[in-house]
Amino acid sequence: MNIEIEMIPYEEKTVLYNLIQLYRYDSSEFDGHVLNNHGLYLYKYFDHQWTDEYRRPIIVKVDGETAGFVLISLGVPKEYMKLSTAEKTNSISDFFIMRKYRRKGVGSKVAYSLLERFIGTWEIRQTAANQPAYTFWKQIISKYKQNNGYQEKFLQNEKWNGPVFVFESGMD
């Protein structure tokens, strides 16, 4: 199984838009997203993926076939982060692997690859109700950090409700 991760160029933004529809549908049971009057899920920061200097939209392919996407932010100033006190922090805004590729190691390989490619402080969050996402990230980070060297906290405020992991990548 050949897994590729690459940036999505602006010219191919329709691919990301379509994948976001699948992602929002899939996660709506956890986060309460609803369809608009046109039968679509909105994504407030969609165009920002190409206009904000710190955002990176990434497509995941398995054996040449589209398998998901990851929206990451690199080097975000500390005033925008929830828990990290580092001057600049990386975060994963959204992580989606299509059902066809789940439980086959694709998500794990993508996660580890990103952590190694973008060295530094990371803050990874999940909504409180999304237990599968929490279980996935807990397993990834525990294995990556060998059960130590990371913080796990639960945030509950007007902007966020759920667990947050903070750790360093590539520093072991």
97 bridge partner residues: 68
Q: Residue 20: is its pLDDT beyond 90? A: yes
Cα separation, 107 vs 89, in Å, equals 21
Q: Render pLDDT for 63-81 as a digit per residue (tens, 0 to 9).
A: 999 999 999 999 988 777 7
The reported pTM is 0.92
- All structural domains of the chain, each given as residue ranges with its CATH number in brackets, are 3-169 (3.40.630.30)
Tokens 């409180």 correspond to what residue? 128
Half-sphere exposure of 116 (CA within 13 A, CB side): 9
Q: Residue 147: is its pLDDT beyond 80? A: no
Alpha helices in 59-118 (DSSP H): 106-117
Cα separation, 39 vs 15, in Å, equals 18
Closest listed residue to residue 113, CA positions, set 152, 64, 170: 170
